[in-house]
C-alpha cells in the first residue's frame, strides 16, 4: 500500500543557446563551462511561460499527449490534487497551479504552488504523499478532511528570468523547463517507501534571490504619506542587508537576480546529496546495494560525480541529463526522471532514489519502488 508514480513527462522551450553563444554576453568559453559543469547548451523561454511548459509536461504525464511515460491514461476528474513547485511563478495570483488546473480542466483538483528552491519537486512529492497517506488512513472522505487519491506533482521554472546575464559566475549554469509526475494511492503496490526532507541554514547567504515587489506604498510609520510612495522601501533595504547584497544592489545590480557563492554551494551539495540518500535508505531499512537507479538534481556534473564517489556507486546508476539543459531548479528532477523512463532505464520493481538540494538550504530524497 502506498503512493506510486504512474506517469511522468517533461517540456522544454524551443530556443537552445550554446556555450559559445554566451561569449557574446560574458567573458567565458565553451571549454571552461564544459569542464567545470558538464553543460553544453541550455533551453531558454522567449515567448513560453512557466505554465505553458508545465501544461505540456502534464499532458504527457497524464497520457494525453505523446512523449511521456504512462501506466495508463488519466481522466481529468481523476486528479484531486495539484502541487506545483516553482521559485519563478509567471504571476503571484492566481497561482501557477490554479492556471494549470483551469487549462487542463482538472475540475476536482485542489491546487497550490510551493517553493523549496531546487529541492521543490522532492518536497512536492513528499507533501502529496503525506496528504494521500493521511487521506487513506482516515478512510478517504470519512475523516473530516478532503480525500486525495491521485495527484499531479509539477516542477516548473523560468529561471532565466532571474538570471543576471552580466554575471559569468552564474549565468552559464541555468536553463528553463518543466517536469510533471502523476502519483496514485495504491492498495496493492508499495510505491514510495520513504521520504527525507531537510533544511540547513544558509548562514553565509551562499544562494539568494531577493525579490522586489515595487507597487508604490504611500505609508510611513505615522500613517498615510504621499512622499513615502516615492522613497526607497526601508524593509527591502533591511532584507538586502540580511542577505548580504546591499553593496551589489547599491552598485546597480538588479535586485531580483540570483546571487551565488559557487564553491560554498558545491560543498553543501555534495554533502547534502550523500546524507539524503543515506537517510532515506535507513528510513526504508534498505542499503545502497538495494537501489537500482538514482535520479539526482542537475546543478553540475561534477557534483553528481563527487556524490557517486561518496556513495561508492558507478556513474552508470545515475541519470545525468545536464549537458543540454543546465540547471532548471525544481524542474530538473522530474525532467531527468522522465529521461530515465524514456531511455527504458527504470523497470517495474526497481528501487529508485530521487535526490536534490537547493537554496535555503533545502535538501531531500524520495525512495520508491517502480
Distance CA 254, CA 286 (A): 47
- Catalytic member of 171, 209, 327, 332: 327
- Residues in contact with ligand COA, counted by CB under 6 A, come to a total of 21
CB–CB of 27/3 below 8 Å?
A: no
Task: Write out the H or E segment, with its range, that includes residue 342.
Answer: helix 332-342
Cβ 39 to ligand COA, closest distance in Å?
9
32 is a site residue for ligand COA (CB under 6 A): yes
172 is a site residue for ligand COA (CB under 6 A): yes
Rule CB under 6 A: choose which of 3, 6, 9, 37 binds ligand COA. 37
198 is a site residue for ligand COA (CB under 6 A): no
Rule CB under 6 A: choose which of 269, 270, 272, 294 binds ligand COA. 269
206 is a site residue for ligand COA (CB under 6 A): no
Rule CB under 6 A: choose which of 58, 98, 109, 265 binds ligand COA. 265
- Catalytic member of 8, 96, 118, 171: 118
358 is a site residue for ligand COA (CB under 6 A): yes
- Ramachandran angles phi, psi of 322, nearest 5°: -80, -25
Exposure string over 120-158, b if 16+ CB within 10 A, otherwise e = bbbbbbbbbbebbbebbeeeeeeeeeebbbbbbbbbbbb
74 is a site residue for ligand COA (CB under 6 A): no
175 is a site residue for ligand COA (CB under 6 A): no
The interface mask with ligand COA, positions 276-315, x = CB under 6 A, is -----------------------xx--x------------
- Strand segments (E) across 271-350: 293-296
Cβ 286 to ligand COA, closest distance in Å?
26
Is 164 tagged catalytic? no
Show contacts with ligand COA in window 122-161 (CB under 6 A): none
Task: Give the binding range for ligand COA (CB under 6 A) out of 3-11, 61-69, 123-131, 167-175.
Answer: 167-175
In Å, the largest CA–CA distance within the chain is: 66
**Cα dist. 120→152, 333, 346 in Å?**
14, 9, 22
253 is a site residue for ligand COA (CB under 6 A): no
- In sequence order, the 6+-apart residues with CB closer than 8 A to the CB of 192 are 2, 3, 4, 125, 129, 183, 366, 367, 368
Is 297 tagged catalytic? yes
118 is a site residue for ligand COA (CB under 6 A): yes
Cβ 27 to ligand COA, closest distance in Å?
6
Q: Looking at beta carbons only, is 201 or 289 nearer to ligand COA?
A: 201
Rule CB under 6 A: choose which of 23, 130, 169, 246 binds ligand COA. 169
CB–CB of 88/159 below 8 Å?
A: yes
CB–CB of 296/355 below 8 Å?
A: yes
85 is a site residue for ligand COA (CB under 6 A): no
- 20, 24, 28, 29 alpha-carbon torsion, rounded to 10°: 20
Q: Looking at beta carbons only, is 127 or 172 nearer to ligand COA?
A: 172
**Cα dist. 36→21, 300, 301, 333, 359 in Å?**
17, 8, 8, 21, 20
Catalytically active residues, by annotation: 118, 297, 327
Amino acid at each position: 500500500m502506498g503512493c506510486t508514480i504512474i506517469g511522468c513527462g517533461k517540456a522544454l522551450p524551443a530556443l537552445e543557446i550554446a556555450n559559445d553563444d554566451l561569449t557574446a554576453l560574458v567573458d567565458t568559453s565553451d571549454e571552461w563551462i564544459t569542464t567545470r559543469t558538464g553543460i553544453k547548451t541550455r533551453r531558454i523561454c522567449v515567448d513560453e511561460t512557466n505554465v505553458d511548459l508545465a501544461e505540456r509536461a502534464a499532458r504527457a504525464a497524464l497520457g494525453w499527449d505523446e512523449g511521456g511515460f504512462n501506466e495508463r491514461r488519466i481522466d481529468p476528474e481523476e486528479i484531486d490534487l495539484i502541487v506545483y513547485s516553482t521559485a519563478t511563478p509567471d504571476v503571484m495570483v492566481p497561482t501557477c497551479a490554479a492556471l494549470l488546473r483551469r487549462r487542463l480542466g482538472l475540475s476536482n483538483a485542489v491546487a497550490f504552488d510551493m517553493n523549496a528552491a531546487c529541492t521543490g519537486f522532492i518536497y512536492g512529492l513528499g507533501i502529496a504523499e503525506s496528504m494521500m497517506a493521511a487521506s487513506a488512513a482516515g478512510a478517504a472522505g470519512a475523516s473530516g478532511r478532503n480525500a486525495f487519491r491521485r495527484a499531479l506533482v509539477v516542477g516548473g521554472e523560468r529561471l532565466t528570468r532571474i538570471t543576471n546575464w552580466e554575471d559569468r559566475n552564474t549565468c552559464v549554469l541555468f536553463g528553463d523547463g518543466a517536469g510533471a509526475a502523476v502519483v496514485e494511492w495504491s492498495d496493492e503496490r508499495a510505491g514510495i517507501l520513504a521520504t527525507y526532507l531537510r533544511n540547513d541554514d544558509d548562514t553565509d547567504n551562499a544562494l539568494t534571490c531577493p525579490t522586489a515587489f515595487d507597487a508604490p506604498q504611500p505609508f510611513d510609520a505615522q500613517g498615510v504619506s504621499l512622499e513615502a510612495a516615492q522613497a526607497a522601501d526601508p524593509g527591502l533595504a533591511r532584507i538586502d542587508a540580511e542577505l548580504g547584497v546591499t553593496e551589489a544592489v547599491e552598485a546597480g545590480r538588479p535586485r531580483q537576480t540570483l546571487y551565488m557563492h559557487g564553491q560554498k554551494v558545491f560543498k553543501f551539495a555534495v554533502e547534502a546529496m550523500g546524507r539524503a540518500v543515506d537517510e532515506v535508505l535507513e528510513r526504508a531499512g534498505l542499503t545502497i546495494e538495494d537501489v537500482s537507479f538514482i535520479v539526482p538534481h542537475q546543478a553540475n556534473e561534477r557534483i553528481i560525480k563527487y556524490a557517486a564517489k561518496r556513495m561508492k556507486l558507478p556513474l552508470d546508476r545515475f541519470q545525468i541529463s545536464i549537458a543540454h539543459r543546465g540547471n532548471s531548479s525544481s524542474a530538473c528532477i522530474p525532467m531527468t526522471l522522465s529521461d530515465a523512463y524514456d531511455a527504458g532505464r527504470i523497470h517495474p520493481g526497481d528501487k529508485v532514489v530521487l535526490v536534490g538540494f537547493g537554496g535555503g538550504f533545502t535538501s531531500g530524497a524520495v525512495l520508491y519502488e517502480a
